[in-house]
Amino acid sequence: MTRQSAHAFSSAILLASLLASCTERDTPDQLRAQLDSVRLSTPPTMPAPQPANEFTAHAYPVAEDGNAITPFGAPATIPNEIDIDERPRQRGARQPLEDVPLESIRLVGTLSRDGRTDALLQVDKVVYPARAGDYLGQNFGVIRSVQGRRVELEELVRNGGDWEKRMTVLELQGSGK
């Protein structure tokens, strides 16, 4: 047998086996019938929905006075007095030097980099860097500027029921004066 005839013979056998396997294939109608029988014999996996409870409307009486504007009672009253310990509005969370008395904070140096000057503030034996906008001191102080040998600080102090601004300056401490 030549090479061509062997190749033709193997191709013919392959084609015959493929055609034979197609005759055993189910038709679309047979497949649908099988799926329907599987669906009917398989129990549902989700419980059947329960009917909703009956809704009963309830009438809320409204009081005749002007305080009852909702069916749930009088509105909450806003106190007129301001808490003395209340913190004035500031940005962000508390910073490390806000709870330290200003008398305990010393300016021990400055550090200039990238066109910005930071203050080096010492409390006990720990040195903290601080810049304009940082908060420090117990009177809600915010650093307004850091200049060479001084830090200008704006504090908020309570005067009666109002907050007043007070400017304070921290001068450089130590032998570099």
Query: What are 20's two structure tokens?
Result: 């034979």
Q: Residue 16: is its pLDDT beyond 80?
A: no
Q: What is the CATH number of domain 102-171?
A: 2.30.30.830
Q: How many CB atoms lie within 10 A of CB 4?
A: 8
Percent of the chain beyond pLDDT 90?
1
Determine whether 153 is exposed, middle or buried from the number of CB atoms within 10 Å of its CB (0-12, 13-18, 19+).
Answer: buried
Contacts of 111 (CB under 8 A, 6+ apart): 117, 118, 120, 129
Q: What is residue 63's predicted lDDT score, i.e. its pLDDT?
A: 58
pLDDT digit string, tens, across residues 135-170:
888 888 888 999 888 899 998 888 877 788 889 888
Give the Cα separation of 152 and 176 in Å (integer).
19
Kindly list the domain boundaries of the chain, sorted by start residue: 102-171
CA–chain centroid gap for 89, Å, is: 21
Q: What does the alpha-carbon distance between residue 111 and residue 10 come to, in Å, rounded to a whole number?
A: 89
Q: Assign 61 a pLDDT band (cuts: 50, 70, 90).
A: low
Beta bridge partner(s), residue 109: 120
